[in-house]
Amino acid sequence: MNDRLPSGGPGSARQGWWQGRNEREASRVEMQALKGFKDILPVESGTWQAMEARAREVLARHGCAEIRVPLLEKTELFARSIGQATDIVEKEMYSFTDRNGESVTLRPEGTASVLRAFVEHGLHTVQAVQRLYTLGPMFRHERPQKGRLRQFHQLSVEVIGSASPYVDAEVMAMAWSVLAANGVAASLEINSLGCPGCRPAYRELLLTFLNDLAAELCPDCQRRRSTNPLRVMDCKSSHCQERYQGLPKMKDHLCGACQEHFVRVQGSLQALGIPYAVNPAMVRGLDYYVRTAFELVTDQLGAQAAVGAGGRYDGLIAALGGPDLPAIGFAIGLERLALLVEQAAAAAVSPPALDLFLVGLGQEATGRLMALAHAARGLGLRVGQDFEGRSLKAQLKLADRLGARWVLVLGDNELRQGQALMKEMASGRQQPLPVAPAPRAWAEALMPLCQPSSTTPGPI
């Protein structure tokens, strides 16, 4: 093939070739995933499948049923449920006008869609308390970070129809168990956000405090001061956090009913043996939360500490046109959970190195070594073998990568002569070893050299 560049001036084959090359290069650059959107490759999908299967099993034990809801909803659904003054609605939603002139939005979270389906299909008439979950992609236009993408995946769980503090504890236990089933440990932090009865008075206290600091606050807190003052506690600015040291806490201004509810939630968690800490500065980013709010946090993901979060939203179903039913739920970010699962797997104790690697050169020799490997494993040795017909050099490299302590080399000619070669990989020391007629006897002859790396005998 002639790869030389064609010659000629403007309009020539050379110019056409160069233009075509530029177009091909540009095409290659453009054919990439959008920023904040990630492919889950085959090497990763096994982790995701196992992770989701464990979560489904935990939820099935708690009587949860799966509901699958659309990715696209009317924008009004999220504006009414999440709240007009939230960062999600103001800045992060993927909204557009469809061909019918209707504003629609790719779902930024799962609760609103599940509740819309609950109301639309009258699921409250099926049974008094419904336990539902949905699992799938959500969409928010925010700055992509580790474990935080613009298309991300969530497990969203909703328990509808009970105001009991025992249910609050059960829901937190569910979230805790999903993480535990995936080998992930996290710290549970809880708070009470009060109710429509006690929150207005607290809001006035908060506003008085913030108004005195108005000139010193960051632009986000300036905006939140007039739209959603509770959200100032979620500010990431160290400058603002220093000024919030004396901020009045909601837990100190709860009404009697909210106070009693929160005490019973804590007692229930203690009864379940689930450790927790009260975090009075915790708020949720959505307007619909009342009373119990919680997060499951970890120090393994940098700034993105929360792997799961949720809380109670007793008035939301009525606000969406449904019956006035209490409800509580949580969401777990699957990208973050996958990162933690992979970290746990990487930190696990590596399997012991091989005691022996068998190098066969020829079909007859490979077959004899296969029988030897089976007998040696029965005596407790950890044995590896290659069946791909690679060269001696390639098999020795493989043995080294697998951490083999000894290598036994046998070719068809050596088999006929009754003599194999043993090599200690660390020192390079070599010595001949007679080939015994019976695999078991041959394996027993190897034992003085290749002591098992595990004290537990038997096949691996």
Per DSSP, the residues of 316-342 read HHHHTTS----EEEEEEEHHHHHHHHH
Residue 322 has pLDDT above 60, yes or no: yes
> What pLDDT, on the 0 to 100 scale, is given for residue 8?
47
pLDDT, tens only, 165-174: 999 999 999 9
> What pLDDT, on the 0 to 100 scale, is given for residue 25?
60
Residue 350 has pLDDT above 80, yes or no: no
> What pLDDT, on the 0 to 100 scale, is given for residue 17?
53
DSSP lists the bridge partners of residue 311 as 293, 329
Mean pLDDT for the stretch of residues 358-376? 93
How distant is the alpha carbon of residue 206 from its chain centre?
A: 36
Instruction: Answer for the pair 59, 133: CB distance below 8 angstroms, yes or no.
Output: yes
- Average pLDDT over the chain reads 85
- Among 125, 122, 118, which residue's Cα sits nearest to residue 69? 118
Q: Which is more confidently placed, 352 or 339?
A: 339
User: Which amino acid belongs to residue 16?
Assistant: G
Mean pLDDT for the stretch of residues 379-402? 91
Q: Which is more confidently placed, 289 or 263?
A: 263
> What pLDDT, on the 0 to 100 scale, is given for residue 288?
77
Residue 446 has pLDDT above 50, yes or no: yes
Residue 338 has pLDDT above 70, yes or no: yes
Among the ranges given (62-66, 217-221, 415-419), the one the predictor scored with the smallest mean pLDDT: 217-221
Rounded to an integer, what distance in angstroms lies between the CA atom of residue 115 and that of residue 158? 9
pLDDT, tens only, 129-182: 999 999 999 999 888 777 778 999 999 999 999 999 999 999 999 999 999 999
> What pLDDT, on the 0 to 100 scale, is given for residue 187?
92
Among the ranges given (29-38, 79-88, 188-197, 424-433), the one the predictor scored with the smallest mean pLDDT: 79-88
Q: Which is more confidently placed, 178 or 89?
A: 178
Rounded to an integer, what distance in angstroms lies between the CA atom of residue 343 and that of residue 340? 5
List of residues 6+ apart from 148 with CB closer than 8 A: 142, 304, 333, 335, 336
> What pLDDT, on the 0 to 100 scale, is given for residue 349?
52
Residue 126, Cβ neighbours under 10 Å: how many?
Answer: 9
pLDDT, tens only, 199-258: 888 888 888 888 887 778 888 787 777 777 777 777 777 778 777 777 888 888 899 999
For residue 4, what pLDDT band results from cuts at 50, 70 and 90?
very low
